[in-house]
Amino acid sequence: MQLYRQVLALPGVRSLLVLIFFARIPSTSGGMLLTLHVAVSMGHGYGAAGTVGAATTIGMAVGAPIMGRVVDRYGLRRLVVITTVGEAVFWAVARFLPYPMLLVFGFVGGFVVLPAMSIGRQAIAALVPVDLRRTAYSMDSVSTELSFMVGPAAAVFVSTQFSTETAMVTMACLLVLVGVMLYVVNPAVRSEAEKAGAEERVPRRSWLTPRMIGVLTVAAGAVFVLGGTEVAVVAHLQESGDLPWTGVVLAVWAAGSAIGGLVYGALHRSVPQVVLMACLGALTIPIGLAGEWWLLMVFLVPAAVLCAPTIAATAEEVARLALPAVRGVATGLQSSAFTLGQAAGAPAVGFAVDHGSPMWGFVVAGLGGLVVAGVAAVLAARQRELAPV
């Protein structure tokens, strides 16, 4: 645990991790809240809810690198003001909007989402020396797992115990609170040594190299596997009559990922992200062979242990490859890759389940991971040909 103690002893790191954890809660609960509002409160069904979710997802994917550019050029506080006002207005008025208008505003709401994950990764790169970043990003990945456990559950609780309209007002208030906290704390997104060259113009081709594209591909692939696995797990439990155990199985899956992240953060040497991606894909394929819920839970653990390390490895590589002047855009592209991976994984696996069986859902998720690992390996080889490192 010495590496973790060293990271937590660095000035500003503890407060940053706590602040970013709470800043992620609204964004992790937003999708669930919109689904409940459209499908239940408005009575339009889950297909219509998925369409709104898709519009929001597209907005997030488009907006993330642009918001990162705002940080690079104008600083974090400017971004916080834009996103806080934009998101608060969206959640305040969304409860009054008819469905067609909600589709349009869903895209806008996604576009101005506070990129809490991107901000956290940028701040870690600024506060933590290179030799400790693996540990710091592993802690950040574990924190992300926890926020995804808390956010959707909180949205469901407030929506079911009160109403989705009440939940939307609560969301708007929480976003304002988070925005004020971020504005006041204003965590550094560049170290003092990096600020000197922050204003220089950096050609895109100098950092958006085949290696960087490979890193972003792995980021998308990791979330493709995770999003697809979640769908396949639910389908498997429904088919076996064990749907009431879904919460337990997913909790163990998340716990396995968190443990894997902690172990990865304690390592003194990095594991190549292509290796992590390939292992994650390969270990996902046989999960569908499980029968009862407890056996499914056991089969999930080996792949779960690699979830957080694979995501942490991509964050570490993005911070290493992106120059400080473009780190906001680079981390924004990483967030877009995560978003697009999630958007592709769930429907692809859902199609396989609908036209085959839950077992084929795990196969599609795993094969997707293996294909991504292969593409990333080819891009890395191409980078070595262009500029040996």
Distance from C-alpha of 47 to C-alpha of 96, rounded to nearest angstrom? 20
306 shares a domain with 382 = yes
Alpha helices in 75-207 (DSSP H): 76-94, 99-111, 116-127, 133-161, 164-185, 192-195, 204-207
Same domain, yes or no, for 19 and 162?
yes
Q: Last residue of some domain: 178, 199, 220?
A: 199
The last residue of one of the domains, among 164, 199, 234, is 199
What was the pLDDT predicted at 283?
A: 95
Residues 276 and 141 in one domain: no
Domain shared by 154 and 252, yes or no: no
Question: How many structural domains is the chain composed of?
Answer: 2
Together in a domain, 70 and 217:
no
Q: How far apart are CA 118 and CA 65, in angstroms?
A: 10
**Which one, of 37, 52, 17, lies nearest residue 156 by Cα?**
37
Q: What is the pLDDT of residue 384?
A: 72
Tokens at 113, concatenated: 């989402």
What CATH number has the domain bearing residue 85?
1.20.1250.20
**Domain-terminating residue out of 199, 226, 256:** 199
Nearest to 189 by CA among 240, 127, 108: 127
Residue among 53, 116, 123, 107 at smallest CA distance from 84: 116
Q: Are residues 139 and 182 in the same domain?
A: yes
Residue keyed to tokens 């006041």: 184
For residue 100 the two structure tokens come to 């067609």
pLDDT score for 126: 85
281 and 335, same structural domain?
yes
Q: Which domain holds residue 57?
A: 1-199
**How far is it, in rounded angstroms, from Cα 290 to Cα 352?**
17
Per-residue confidence (pLDDT) for residue 199, from 0 to 100? 57
Distance between CA 114 and CA 64 in Å, rounded?
A: 9
Contact in structure between 200 and 325 (CB atoms under 8 Å):
yes
d(CA 133, CA 312): 9
Residues of the chain with pLDDT under 70: 46-47, 191-201, 385-389
Query: Do 147 and 215 belong to one domain?
Result: no
162 shares a domain with 46: yes
CA angle 255, 119, 57 (to 5 degrees): 75
Q: Are residues 175 and 213 in the same domain?
A: no
pLDDT tens readout for residues 307-353 = 989 988 898 888 888 877 788 888 888 888 988 888 788 788 888 88
* Token output for 107: 């895209």
- Per-residue pLDDT of 188-242, as tens digits, reads 887 666 665 555 667 777 788 888 899 999 999 998 998 888 888 888 888 888 8
Q: Tell me: do 294 and 148 sit in the same domain.
A: no
Total-model pTM = 0.80
Are 75 and 153 contained in the same domain? yes
What is the C-alpha separation between 279 and 94, in angstroms, rounded? 42
